[in-house]
Structure formats: structure tokens, C-alpha cells
Amino acid sequence: MRVLALTFFLFAFAMAHGQVQQPGRFEISLREGDEESPYRVASLRERGLVAYRRLVGKREDQIELIKIDTSLKEEWRGYIQVEKSLNLLFVEQRRDYFFLLFKNTDYAMGDFQIVAVQAATGDYGTYTVKNLIPFAVNQFMVTPEAALISGYYNYRPLVLHFHFGRQQSKILPGFFNEAGELNQIKLSADGTVDIIVSAKNFERKKCLWIRTYDGEGSLLKTIVLQPEADKHLIFGRSIKMPGGEQVVSGVYGRYTEYSRGIFLARINPYGEYTINYYNFADLQRFFNYMKAGREKRIKSRIERKKIKGKRIRFNYRILVHELIPHGRQLVMLGEAFYPHYSYAGRPGSSYFSSYSPFIPRFYANPLVRGELVFDGYQYTHAVVIGFDQNGKLLWDNSFEINDVRTMQLEQFVKVEAADDRLVLLYLYENTIRSKVIRDGDVIEGKAVNELRTGYAEDVVKPQDTQGSTLDYWYGNVFYAKGMQRVRNMTAAGVELNRWVFFINKITYE
């Protein structure tokens, strides 16, 4: 197997505008015929990246680990023996270690195994996490004292807490009672963990339960955000602010499946809160992702309704991904999508459905309804909204997402918040698409940059890239990874192809 760490020669043109920079590339040669990437990648932040894959053996399998530093140089490579019944679910980083979570797939109630790997050397140790509940896992987090494994049992959310020092596991108090959706598990700088669950109260109104736990897994407090009349709080994410204040932003709606707008709640240290609501029709640039003619018609309808003293109502499916401090503002990033259905056996036909994306992720598998087959979530645009410190709406903007359809809901658009501007980026196949805004105004319109390869003569055709994704790495640095067939014509006119797994380093200057 051939491994290449490539550094690009970047020309230093003096340019008045920013641009996507790709200062390095890491390649691993693959065998011809490999249709799916054998490698996954996890960020170790300033400590680099780890690429990993499963190697199938006769009696036991191996997990291959490749540690890569921030200059995309391989530091070490190692192998961990695993039983064939163990499935690798997640890789999570914490300080000088990264942690691999395994689950025995032969038993519904089986124990978990956590392998803690020292990032600098590759030395590792193994922990067994006792578990007596058959639940489907959807998230894994490591705190300074413990590991948190969250999921659902019979539509009911729960979080399993494993203390590394005592090597004891327990279900966190406050869960496993009512049906609901886990929105967020967030570790704060003070070592506490906030868990947000969206569920209905006794009045059948959807509320947000925010539970705070200490490092030992003890429940410190519970705050329930309750909406005003005729509203449901569908989804939310939070962030801790200086002074003990907490901010929660998300989407609300008249019904529990569709959102009609954005809300922002401010919670003081005593648990008292205020909620501001903003209808989609009140946003200035929410519909900018549309073609000019359609956007003009939508805005004309809104104005006619306002003149008559009425309010037009829009129903969208939006997942809020991030709430980011930016100077004296808070910036919310979300993505709009709809579930797409096709008629089985009828090429080219499609149908749009009211399937709810807010049920637990592991239930969002392809569905068949008569002749209709669910074939993915179609993304339309990202929405970016700026608030002041009092929760007042300052500005909004949108970023069109082209061509993206996926079987699982995940975040595609990433944001770099630096100085007085925001850079929005996402990767589709072989191209990085970006847009720059400042306080809601577009500084640079949508730009498209191809992923760089290692050599000037390399050629990558549109169909030659598979499984490409863009993700956060450290600071304002991202990484792109996937597989490519790279074509290179020699001086003798002979085309040389290489089939590779690649990692590109991405910055915006």
C-alpha cells in the first residue's frame, strides 16, 4: 500500500478577496474494485487526525489506525485485535486520548467496550461497560471523568454514564420515562453536561427539557422551556454564556412536525427565561436561495398579507446545528430539507412526503409506503441568523445547497467565524462551495473550488469522486476526505490512473 503526503505549491497572488486554500493532501492507494471507502476519519483537533478501518481476518478482525499530524504526515500506524461480533460505532477525542466505542452485535443487550488510545504513541487500554438495556445508540461523548452513550429504547431517550475511575455504569436520572427526541448533549467548560430533550408535557405541547449533570452523573437541575399558546418547541441547541446565562435557539411550529420560525431563549442563572419568536416570513433573506422569479412572488405574497393585516405562514423542516458566539453577536446555523420519495420501479418519478425527520435517527431508514420508496433527504439551503446579546434578531441570510441528498440527516454546511465575517462552506463530490457574509450582507457570492490533487497534471472527472465530506478539524481549519480516481497523462501519452483515499487540508484566507 502506498501512502503519500503531498504539499501543494501555492502561488501568492495579491488578491482583494479571500479564497479557499488547500495547503496539503494525504493519499493512501487503494485496490482497484474497492467501491466504498475502507477508511473513516476522526478529528483529534490540534493533535491531528486518525484514519481507521476494519480488516477482516479468519478468526478475529483488526482495526487499523493511522495517526496523522496537522501537516498531514503519518506519525504512527497500529492495529487492535477485535472479535468479529464487535461493531465499531464511534470514535471520540478527549485531551491526549481518543476513544473507540464497540458494541456486540450478537446480543441486543450486550455490553459495550471502550478502547482508549494515547494519541502520541498508540498505546491503548480497554474498558468493559456493563449494559442491561437493549437500546439503539446514536451518540458517544467523553468527559474528563466519564463516557456518555446515548440512544433510544422503545422511542424513549436514555443516556448511559460510565465512570472511568470506578469503572461503573448507570442510566442517568431523569430519562427512560417518556417518549422524546434527544436534541443535544453538550459538555461545558466547567465540566458539567447539558442534555436537551424535546418531548410533550401533560398538555400535549412540545417543550424542551434541559437537564444539567456533574461529572459524576448526578442531576444538578432541570429547566423546562415551555412555548406560548399555539406553539411547539420542536428542536433546540444551547450554549453557555459568561455570567452563568444560557442561550437556547431552535425552531418552533404550530404542529410538531413542521417549523414556522426560529426562536431564541435566554435563561438566567436562576432558571428564569424569556423566548423571542421570529416567523420565517419576518426574515429578510430567508428565501434568497430560490430563483429570482419565485423569490419575488413569495415576497409579494408576504407584503400583500401584511397590508391586509394578515400573516402568511410557511412550513419548513429545519435542523439547527450550531449556535456560535461571534463578537458581540450569537449566530445560529441550520439547514432546510425535505424527505424525497420515488415510485418503486418507475425511473425518474418522485413524490414529496410529510415524513417527520424529528424521530430518532436510527428509525430514519428507507421506508416503503405502497409503491413509494423513501430515497433520501433533499437539502435546499442553509439559514444563518444573527442575534444580539438580548436575543433580538439583527440579520439573516441563506446559502443555497445544490444537489445534496442523503439517507441520514447530518450537517453539510460548515461555518468559519473569524474577525468581522462568516465563511460558509460545503463539499459536493469534487467541489468546495463557499459564500462570505458580514452582518447579513454578502461580501463574496457563491464560489466553487475543485479539490486539489497532488500534481499539476492530475485530472479528476466529476464521476471520479465518491464519499467525499467536509468537516471541522481545529481552529479555522477543515479537512475534506473521500475516494478518487486520479488520472495522469505521462509525457509518452500514456494515461496512468490511481485509485486513492484522500484527505485534503482546507483553510479560507
Q: CA distances (Å), 412 to each of 146, 289, 409, 425, in order?
A: 29, 16, 9, 8
Residues 6+ apart with CB under 8 A from 298: 287, 290
Mean of pLDDT values over 247-275: 93
pLDDT for the residue numbered 456: 82
pLDDT for the residue numbered 454: 84
Mean of pLDDT values over 292-310: 79
Angle at 210 between CA 205 and CA 213, to 5 degrees: 150
- Beta strands in 105-245, from DSSP E residues, in sequence order: 112-118, 124-129, 136-142, 146-153, 156-163, 168-171, 181-187, 193-200, 206-213, 219-225, 232-240
In this prediction, residue 231 has a pLDDT band, given cuts at 50, 70 and 90, of very high
In this prediction, residue 165 has a pLDDT band, given cuts at 50, 70 and 90, of very high
The separation between the first and the last C-alpha atoms of the chain, rounded to the nearest angstrom, is 34
Distance CA 59, CA 446 (A): 52
277 close to 232: Cβ distance less than 8 angstroms = no
SS3 content of the chain, % helix, strand, coil (to 5): 5, 55, 40
Q: CA distances (Å), 495 to each of 35, 73, 492, in order?
A: 21, 28, 9
DSSP states along 277-313: EEEGGG-SSTTTTS-HHHHHHHHHHHHHHHHTT----
Question: CA 286, 239, 50, 45: dihedral to nearest 10 degrees?
Answer: 100
- Give residue-wise pLDDT tens across range 436-472: 998 888 888 889 999 999 888 888 988 889 889 999 9
**Grid cell digits, residue 42:** 476522526
In this prediction, residue 125 has a pLDDT band, given cuts at 50, 70 and 90, of very high
Mean of pLDDT values over 314-324: 91
311 vs 217 pLDDT, higher one: 217
In this prediction, residue 357 has a pLDDT band, given cuts at 50, 70 and 90, of very low
pLDDT for the residue numbered 358: 36
When mean pLDDT is compared across 204-213, 219-228, 246-255, 344-353, the lowest value belongs to 344-353
In this prediction, residue 262 has a pLDDT band, given cuts at 50, 70 and 90, of very high
Distance CA 340, CA 359 (A): 16
pLDDT for the residue numbered 362: 34
Distance CA 113, CA 115 (A): 7
406 vs 51 pLDDT, higher one: 51
Neighbours of 99 (CB within 10 A): 21
493 vs 173 pLDDT, higher one: 173
